Amino acid sequence: KYRGIRPAPGHPACPDHTEKGTIWQLLDVQANTGIQITESFAMWPGSSISGLYFAHPESRYFSLGKIDRDQVADYHERKGMSMADVERWLGPNLNYDPAE
C-alpha cells in the first residue's frame, strides 16, 4: 500500500494547472514519455497522470482555500504571469471579484 500523498496540479492542494508546464520542463516529459500537454494543460493521451509524490506516512491532503488579492499579486510577480492570467487559472480560489 502506498503511504503518502499524490497531489496534482489542478487539484485542491495545488489548483494552478500551469504548474504542469513546470513539471514538463524540469523532467522533459514529452521527450522522455511522449505525453503531451495542451494549451489548457490537459494531458494527452487522456489516460496520462502527473503529480507530486510525497512518500511519507504522515503526509495529509489539504485544500488551498480562498486567496486574497495581495497573495495573487505576489504569486503573479514570482510566477512571471500577468495578474489577469493568474486570476483566470486560480478563479475558483479567489476571495475577491477580479472585476472590482
Please report the pLDDT score of residue 1 as a whole number.
82
Query: pLDDT tens digits, residue range 15-67?
Result: 999 999 999 999 999 999 999 999 999 999 999 999 999 999 999 999 999 99
Cβ partners under 8 Å of residue 17, min gap 6: 9, 10, 40, 41, 89
46 and 73 in a single domain? The answer is no
Number of compact structural domains in the chain: 2
Please report the pLDDT score of residue 73 as a whole number.
98
pLDDT at 2 over 90: no
78 and 44 in a single domain? The answer is no
13 and 30 in a single domain? The answer is yes
- Domain containing 85 equals 65-100
54 and 13 in a single domain? The answer is yes
